[in-house]
Every structure is written in structure tokens, then in C-alpha cells.
């Protein structure tokens, strides 16, 4: 893993090797990351917005006394406030963290000018992957976090792995996405036929809430972030994350007032 991290741009890799970290548990992992932050005092600390990252990020930020901006869709370095205000200091080289707000109806840019590190979680697929440089090397630092068990530690009694396999929609080049406007689980069968022909299907939160389709192929503010070349948005209300998150090269929007016959025509073509 160290070689892979180095080839993707890491200059230093800090390794915390402790038996308490064999399986993910919130408290020892929080202790480990907080210890690393307190020792090396980074300006910026970014965590992947995975299931583990969403559990870990807020606890680490609270432990080290800083803020956290979750589920960022864009990160920039700039001035804060964005526009100079008379009588107020404008700080430079701040991490500007952009994310959906108010239920996805707007986009907010957030800064943490007073506390360090500036922390954010970012979903897999939001940022473009850096070109891999074969043979690149990184300095490896073995760090002793001095983990201590306390009453927050939990004992893992059993791990049951999910044996269900699902197509990785994050790797698909063409995706068909349906929302509540599709109308019913029966109508989703037509979308599924189109998706099978074009190689990908996803859906909005409303469809999951209605019980029509499973959550593991949900996209949007509460689902996955994807980057297909072509994106069909069918019967979706137009929430901002479906326009901003996908970053598709081409997008086709279909209102269900146009009837499902249009989908059949597309399938014939």
C-alpha cells in the first residue's frame, strides 16, 4: 500500500501499527488519528466520506478541537472572507470547502479560519484521480500512538460479511437514473431494460424511500457520487446534487410527462 500511495503523490506515509487496530473500532482509531494530528499539526486533514470515515471524522475533529465540513464536493485554497470586508481581517491560503446545504437546495462554501487542522470529508469519486507515477517513493514513518483501552472500547463478537454482489456503478461510463417521477416499481422495469442495454442503472433517494429499488445503487446527496460519460436523468425532481455531483460529459433530462413511450423509442434506437 505504501508504494501505491507514493505513486499517487504521497511524500510521507505515517504508519500506526497496533493490534488494537486490526478491526475497525471507533475509539482506538479516533485515538490513533488524534495522536497523529497532535504530533504533526497538519494545516489540512481530509478523510474519505465512506461508512468508516463518516463515523471517524466527527469524533477526531471533536477530539482535537476543530471543525469538520462533511461530504464536500469541491475543495479550493483561497481567501476568507471571499470578498474583503472593511474592518475585518481577510485571511489568505484558507481551505474553502464546498458542499450541498439546506437539503441539497443550495451550495455552501465553508471555511475554518480560526482552528487547525481544517478538516473535511470527501466522497469517493468526487475528485479526479491524480496520474500514477510508477516508481515514486515516499518516506515511511512508524508512529507509536500509545493507544490506551478505556470504557469506550467495544468488543467485536462476530463479523458477518455481505455475500450479495452488486455492479459497481461508480465505474460505469453510461448510467440511467430514475426518480419518484417514474411512478412505480413496475415502471422501473422499463428503466432496467434500458439500463441493461446501456450498461448501468442508478436511482434517487425518493425511489429508495418508496421501497422500489435497493440503496446500494442510490446516487445524489445521500448516495454515491459518479462520473459517467453519459447520464440519463429520468423522473428526477432536479435536486442540485444530481446536476453537480455527476460531472458527466453529456446529460439527458426526461420529464415523466413525456410518458414512458419515449423510453421505448430510445431503446429501439
Q: In terms of pLDDT, which residue wins out, 131 or 177?
A: 131
CA distance to 14, 18, 33, 36, per residue, from 142 (Å): 6, 11, 13, 11
CA distance to 41, 121, 180, 230, 257, per residue, from 189 (Å): 53, 35, 14, 20, 18
Give the model's confidence band at 268: pLDDT under 50 very low, under 70 low, under 90 confident, else very high.
very low
Distance between CA atoms of residues 122 and 47, nearest Å = 6
User: What residue ranges define each of the domains in the chain, with the CATH number in brackets?
Assistant: 2-74+111-142 (3.40.50.620), 169-268 (3.40.50.1220)
Binding residues for FAD, as ranges, are 180, 204-205, 218-222, 235-242
pLDDT over 70 for what percent of the chain? 72
Distance between CA atoms of residues 51 and 182, nearest Å = 29
Distance between CA atoms of residues 260 and 182, nearest Å = 8
Exposed, middle or buried, 54 (CB in 10 Å: 0-12/13-18/19+)?
Answer: middle
pLDDT for the residue numbered 101: 83
Residue 268, Cβ neighbours under 10 Å: how many? 6
Strand 201-203 with 139-142, pairing: unpaired
Read off the DSSP letter of residue 91. Answer: E
Residues 206, 179 contacting (CB under 8 angstroms): yes
Q: What is the pLDDT of residues 91-109, one digit of tens each?
A: 999 999 999 888 767 889 9
Q: What is the pLDDT of residues 101-140, one digit of tens each?
A: 887 678 899 999 999 999 999 987 778 888 899 999 999 9
Q: What is the pLDDT of residues 190-212, one digit of tens each?
A: 777 777 766 555 555 555 565 65
Binding residues, as ranges, are 180, 204-205, 218-222, 235-242
Q: What is the pLDDT of residues 28-87, one digit of tens each?
A: 999 999 999 999 999 999 999 988 999 999 999 999 999 999 999 899 999 998 888 888
Amino acid at each position: 500500500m505504501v508504494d501505491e500511495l507514493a505513486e499517487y503523490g504521497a511524500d510521507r506515509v505515517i504508519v500506526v501499527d497496533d493490534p488494537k487496530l486490526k478491526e475497525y473500532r471507533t475509539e482506538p482509531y479516533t485515538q490513533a488519528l488524534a495522536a497523529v494530528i497532535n504530533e504533526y499539526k497538519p494545516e489540512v486533514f481530509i478523510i474519505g466520506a465512506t461508512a468508516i470515515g463518516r463515523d471517524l471524522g466527527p469524533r477526531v475533529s471533536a477530539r482535537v478541537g476543530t471543525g469538520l465540513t462533511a461530504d464536500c464536493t469541491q475543495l479550493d485554497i483561497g481567501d476568507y472572507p471571499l470578498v474583503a470586508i472593511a474592518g475585518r481581517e481577510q485571511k489568505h491560503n484558507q481551505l474553502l470547502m464546498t458542499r450541498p446545504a439546506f437539503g441539497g437546495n443550495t451550495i455552501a462554501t465553508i471555511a475554518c479560519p480560526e482552528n487547525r487542522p481544517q478538516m473535511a470529508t470527501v466522497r469517493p469519486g468526487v475528485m479526479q484521480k491524480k496520474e500514477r507515477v510508477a516508481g515514486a517513493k515516499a518516506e515511511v514513518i512508524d508512529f507509536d500512538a500509545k493507544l490506551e483501552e478505556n470504557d469506550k472500547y467495544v468488543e467485536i463478537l462476530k463479523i458477518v460479511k455481505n455475500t450479495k454482489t452488486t455492479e459497481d456503478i461508480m465505474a460505469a461510463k453510461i448510467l440511467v437514473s430514475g426518480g419518484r417521477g417514474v411512478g412505480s416499481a413496475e415502471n422501473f422495469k422499463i428503466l432496467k431494460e434500458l439500463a441493461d442495454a446501456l450498461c448501468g442503472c442508478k436511482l434517487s433517494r425518493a425511489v429508495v424511500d418508496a421501497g422500489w429499488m435497493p440503496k446500494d445503487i442510490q446516487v445524489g446527496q445521500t448516495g454515491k457520487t459518479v462520473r459517467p460519460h453519459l447520464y440519463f436523468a429520468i423522473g428526477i425532481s432536479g435536486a442540485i446534487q444530481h446536476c453537480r455531483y455527476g460531472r458527466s460529459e453529456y446529460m439527458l433530462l426526461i420529464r415523466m410527462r413525456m410518458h414512458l413511450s419515449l423510453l421505448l423509442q430510445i431503446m429501439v434506437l
